[in-house]
Structure 1
Amino acid sequence: MRNRPMSLTRTLIALVASTVMLIAAVAAAWSYIESNHELEELFDAELAQSTRVIQGLVHHLASTGSPEQLSGILQQTLQLPEGALDEGDYDEVLPDGTGHKYEKKLAFEVWTPEGTPLLDTLAANDDLALKPGYAWAEATGFQWRTFTLQDPQTGYWIRTAQREDIRQELSQQLAMGNIFPLLIALPLLVLAVAVAIQLGFRPLRKLEQPVRHMAPERIHPLNTQHAPREVSGLVMAVNGLLERLDDALDRERRFSADAAHELRTPLTALRLNLEKLEATDPAKFRELTAAVDRMGHLVEQMLLLSRVDAGVGFSPEYVNLSDIVAQSIADVSPLALRKGIEPSLEDSIGQAMVSGQAALLNTLMRSLLANAIQYSPENTRIDTQLSADGDGFCIRICDQGPGIPADHRDKALGRFGRLDQRLGSGAGLGLAISRRIAELHGGALILEDRPDGQQGLCVNIWLPVRTPA
């Protein structure tokens, strides 16, 4: 199985997109980690700030009242309401508006200088040593982040605690909020990269079109002004190759034309001499005369192909294709009658006006009709149909001959493309000349099977109403 050619556009899109996605993934992971770290630092700062607020409250109350009064005021002020202690399914604000559900994520502890607890909303399972700074504690089945300090004037110890799960929840939400725009922008960025690469390769596609549609008789260099700098060297090399190819084809055309032209004179002289000899002994020289006639026909075909390839003398004008087809059938009728072949014409238009050269179109039709007569058995039919087809006209010539297999038709349309040397006496140039004439008129020639399923071959010629400039 043959490997498909590599697509440079797809390769670049895949490489750039994968690189962008990898960098975006690293950036997202880095942003997530840094955001979590910075938010943890922010939560620790808030925890310390809350502790200092409680320190100010304790310092003020301790200077104006007894420890019992201080404990009561702290219980009344910092003790959570019952609704905040429930794990109910409600919004952040409690149903009665008395507080916020996240209040239960915070806890406070206050001790006297002697270590007597005045307030304990944490209810930790283990006794933490009273020392300043951050620590971890376990209470009510959760891990708590704590910050402890001692008021230097009153000696009271104050501790504020914050549940770790709420810290993680808020950290993750805020971190995801930072990277979520990046995740949304990533597909758009990949799409923009793909579009940018497609647009970047547009000059190359513009260079491809002239090469794709360049005909052998109209070889011209590519426009280097539209070529990107990265491929300008390649374009110049291609132009050099096209120039050498044009020179080679021109030498080939000149050689074919010169050789055919030089052969016409000796073949004519040889034909005249053979006619004299054939008059004395017809049986002896008849086959030799026929061979010379075939050589003369080949020379004429080579000259015609050379002129058609070069487009010499092609001056299109509006002609009636219906008249040309009818006249061509009349021209080959004597040849068909010798084999008992009945040619027919079905013309549903009558005035099929095209822009072209009548002599070449007549040559096209007579060549195809003669080819069909040559390969058709005796006492058969050759049907010709002229009909409108889109913005042009279609001529279909169907015979009842041996036909051409579908995988051999490209070869049959080539030059000297005779598939069976035992059939016919041509050199294999008739179909090549016909196709070239059709292309010169802006049309096309296609070989197909008969639509009725019978044995034979159909030649379809499509010609536009107007020949492209």
Structure 2
Amino acid sequence: MRSHGMSLTRTLIALVASTVMLIAAIAAGWSYIESNHELEELFDAELAQSTRIIQGLVHHLASTQSPDQLAGTLQETLQLPEGALEEGDYNEILPNGTGHKYEKKLAFEVWTPDGSPLLDTLAANDDLALNPGYARAEATGFQWRTFTLQDPQTGYWIRTAQREDIRQELSQELAMGNILPLLIALPLLVVAVAIAIQLGFRPLRKLEQPVRHMAPERIHPLDTHHAPREVSGLVMAVNGLLERLDDALERERRFSADAAHELRTPLTALRLNLEKLESSDPEKFRELTAAVDRMGHLVEQMLLLSRVDAGVGFSPEYVNLSDIVAQSIADVSPLALRKGIEPSLEDPTGQAMISGQEALISTLMRSLLANAIQYSPEGTRVDTHLEAEGDGFSIRICDQGPGIPISQHEKALGRFGRLDQRLGSGAGLGLAISRRIAELHGGELTLEDRPDGHPGLCVRIWLPEQPFK
């Protein structure tokens, strides 16, 4: 089960992406402001240059023409064409190439040294004082940026104006053109950061897989050669923990096996002596003999559990699960007949082939079937259903006994997990052994309520259909 805690990958992606976006936003804003500022200066320089061009023209004509003639020449030269004054025309070039309609965004004013106007294409609403330098004016419903100078030789005043809205529009378009590549690249950069972090954490995920699928009987150290330097210390600490855990499990397995072996001999001798005494007085020694038999059964189960835990002799082969289930039901039929219980099998697969060990799967099936019969009332049924499920096969063994509350399922699957000492004669190892056998085959064992809602318990075993090699 995966943890629902904080994800380091998502946290790093969020932090790095947020940092990149913040820096990119600051850079974009800075670039936008600087681009606007530089373009404004460029437009002001262009405005001053246009004014000086008109100054040169006036200076040249003033020496040969009277003020009236100069006014007419300037009108003919600088007056906007009629087509340039029309709004809503999407054709920017005027007919016959006589000009450009955006010429109306420029305006010119010329005065004589005594302040008499010779040319006025601006038609400003307010009277600006004739002071050299930059200023702003309002005309024709627009704001204008102006530059004024006086020719030092002729004394004529010249002013050139540009519409503010056009300057701002061009500035914004050019500024956006500068930051647009950054805005387009930003999502790609965030995706690249996420991919880079995912790739960076790939070695950690490779280290996770062996731990996730490591079985208790096959504990081995993690490969430190491919571990990132930053987590090499953690990997070495985990390897030390795995080594100590393997030693502890091995000591536990040896103790269980040794204890069971040591108990086997005295129990056998005790059973033989009780048989001799029971022949003379059966009633007196029957319960004691049954208790010794239960102890012997417990010892056998402990030995079996020890072997299963250690995976001793586990050599999978291609086996027919359908045949194993059918034979197991036949093996426990005498036990079922003594209680008047009818075992049944439903197997639509017919040939459920898996890779496993036949002896262990038979032990699992007989243990579960015997357990179901033991806890079922007389005259009831124990139903077994085998079907294909996912990449394997599931077996459900359902009885009509008292059942187990859902809250107690995990406890019942534990070792020595007998919930009611008054029911049955087992030691509480049958389900634990069966679960361990299922896990040894790469499967699982779970407890479920009956699907029909009737009292009873269903044990579900799922075994994968592993390829035979």
Q: TM-score range by the shorter chain?
A: over 0.9
* CA displacement 1:205-261 (0-9 Å, x = unmatched): 111111111111111111112211111111111111111111111111111111111
The equivalent of 2:183 in structure 1 is 183
Aligned to 1:15: 15
Comparing 228-237 with 447-456, greater Cα deviation is found at 447-456
- Matching residue of 1:324: 324
1:15 shift after superposition: 0.9
2:444 touches 2:462 (CA, 8 Å); kept in 1?
yes
Counting only pairs closer than 5 Å after superposition, residues 210-229 of structure 1 correspond to structure 2 as 210-229=210-229
Tell whether the 8 Å contact from 1:385 to 1:396 is kept in structure 2 after alignment. yes
Q: Which AA in structure 2 matches 1:61?
A: L
- Aligned twin of 1:36: 36
Hey, what does 2:296 align to over in structure 1?
296
1:65-214 matched pairs, under 5 angstroms: 65-88=65-88, 90-94=90-94, 98-214=98-214
Residue 6 of structure 1, CA deviation = 1.0
Could you say what secondary structure the match of 1:226 adopts?
Answer: coil
Q: Name the structure 1 match of 2:457.
A: 457
Structure 2: stretches of 5+ with no match in the other structure:
none
Does 144-153 or 247-256 show the bigger shift?
144-153
Matched residue of 1:225: which SS? coil
Displacement, 1:14? Answer: 1.1
Paired positions, count = 467
* One-letter identity of the residue aligned with 2:290: A
Tell me the CA shift for residue 382 of structure 1.
1.6
Paired AA for residue 404 in structure 1: I
Aligned 8 A contact 2:112 2:156 in 1: yes
Deviates most, 258-267 or 384-393: 384-393
Other-structure match for 2:253: 253
1:400–1:455 CA contact under 8 A, matched in 2: yes
Instruction: List per-residue Cα deviations over 1:278-301 (Å, max 9, x = no partner).
Output: 333333322222122111111110
Give distance in 1, aligned partners of 2:57 and 2:381.
117
Give the drift of 1:61.
1.6
1: CA distance between counterparts of 2:423 and 2:66? 129
1:21 CA drift (Å): 1.1
Distance 1:223 1:404 in 2: 43
Partner of 1:362: 362
Structure 2 partner of 1:440: 440
Distance 1:403-1:24 versus aligned 2 partners, 3 A rule: same
Instruction: Note if contact 1:396-1:458 (Cα within 8 Å) is conserved in structure 2.
Output: yes
More off after superposition, 439-448 vs 422-431: 439-448
SS at match of 2:283: helix
Partner of 1:417: 417
Matched residue SS, 1:186: helix
Contact 1:442–1:467 (CA under 8 A) maintained in structure 2: no
- Range with bigger deviation, 385-394 or 417-426: 385-394
Structure 2 counterpart of 1:281: 281
Aligned 8 A contact 2:135 2:146 in 1: yes
- Over 3 Å counting, the alpha-carbon distance change for 1:397 and 1:107 in structure 2 is same
SS in 2 for 1:123: coil
Q: Which runs of 5+ in 1 are unaligned?
A: none
CA distances 1:284-336 after superposition (whole Å, capped 9, x unpaired): 32222212211111111000000011111223334443443333223222211
- Partners of 2:404 and 2:96 in 1: how far apart? 94
**Structure 1 CA distance, aligned partners of 2:163 and 2:307?**
96
For residue 68 of structure 1, report the CA deviation from its aligned partner.
1.3
Cα deviation for residue 89 of structure 1 reads 5.2
Deviations 1:166-212 (A, max 9, x none): 21221112112211222222122112211211121111111111111
Q: Letter of the aligned partner of 2:138 in structure 1?
A: E
Deviations 1:73-118 (A, max 9, x none): 1011111233333444544345775433322221111122333221
Question: For residues 18 and 390 of structure 1, do their structure 2 counterparts lie closer, same or farther at Cα, with a shift above 3 Å needed?
Answer: closer
The one-character-per-residue Cα deviations of 1:357-376 (angstroms, maximum 9, x if unpaired) are 33222211211111011000
| Cα distance per residue 1:90-149 (max 9 Å; x no partner) | 443457754333222211111223332211222334433334322233333433222222
Task: Give the letter aligned to residue 310 of structure 2.
Answer: A
TM-score by length of 2: 0.92
Contact 2:355 2:468 in 1 (8 A): no
Aligned CA-pair RMSD: 2.3
TM-score by length of 1: 0.92
Aligned position for 2:232: 232
What letter is aligned with 1:19? T
Tell me the amino acid that sits aligned with residue 106 of structure 1. Answer: L
Amino acid aligned to 2:127: D
